[in-house]
A = this chain, B = another copy of it.
Amino acid sequence: MVQASHDSVLDHLGRRIAGGELAPGTVLTLADLEAEYGVSRTVVREAVRVLEAKAMLSSKRRVGITVSPMSRWSMLDPELIRWRLSSSARARQIVALTELRLAVEPIAARLAALRASEDQRAEIGRLADELRRLGAERRGDSQEYLAADIAFHDVLLRAGGNLMLTAIQSPIAEVITGRHTAGLTPADPVHQALHNHVEAAAAIVRGDAEAAEHHVRGYVEAILDEVRSVPE
């Protein structure tokens, strides 16, 4: 658990940088930040250290604290992804994240088909059934559908047994939720996408790596087409 003061300074500063308000090259000083946030040096320093660890800032004696060029940032950092999702770069970040999903999810599905435990296979099958059922009942925009959708992707990524692939679960969940909250999920799910979910689940259950990879790629490609068509 982290405290309010540190957390809020870190979060606010992180957002300002991620959102471009503090452009790369901008120089700050500890004294400035102390005064601005009205907190002690300790708090500011610790926040700066964390942002330094994400390669968003770099501090040098006699110079100050400089905002690093975006190309250096640890873009896979979940916190940074969240900040960018809540910034004006949101649309671009969603596309980038979906491209990452297009890379990761099919491979995770392949691994899941090979390595998932019995419990995980059962869980994936169950969740796919639920998605299908809710879809058939035209409840694709319900809370239950959202929960099942998130759980489905969560198990899928975890079942692959690769913690690095699992690591993008939380940003994915956030995007799915965001899409739902924005009212973009239709009550009547797109037939092909739902079909791919169900087929992917079936393939994982029976251990068919090729099919699992193929069907997952199918639905992520559909999502990618969709998010690319959203204007920035």
Please report A residues at the B interface, Cβ cutoff 8 Å: 1-2, 6, 42, 45-46, 49-50, 52-54, 58-61, 70-71, 73-79, 81, 96-97, 99-100, 102-104, 106-108, 111, 160, 162-168
Which residues of chain B have C-beta atoms less than 8 A from A79's C-beta? 53
**What's the Cα separation between A97 and B99 when bound, in Å?**
18
Q: Decide if B6 touches A49 in the complex (CB within 8 Å).
A: yes
**What's the Cα separation between A65 and B164 when bound, in Å?**
24
Main secondary structure of the interface of A (DSSP, over half): helix
Which residues of chain B have C-beta atoms less than 8 A from A73's C-beta? 163
Which residue of B58, B74, B107 is within 8 Å of A78 (Cβ)?
A: B74
Which residue of B42, B60, B76, B97 is within 8 Å of A76 (Cβ)?
A: B76
Known A103-B165, A164-B100: A53·B54 in contact at CB below 8 Å = yes
Which residues of chain B have C-beta atoms less than 8 A from A107's C-beta? 99, 102-103
Which residues of chain B have C-beta atoms less than 8 A from A1's C-beta? 58-61
Which residues of chain B have C-beta atoms less than 8 A from A6's C-beta? 49
Which residues of chain B have C-beta atoms less than 8 A from A106's C-beta? 103
**What's the Cα separation between A2 and B58 when bound, in Å?**
8
- 11 A-B contact pairs sorted by A residue (CB < 8 Å): A1-B58, A2-B52, A42-B42, A46-B46, A50-B50, A73-B163, A74-B167, A75-B164, A77-B77, A99-B111, A99-B162
Which residues of chain B have C-beta atoms less than 8 A from A50's C-beta? 49-50, 53
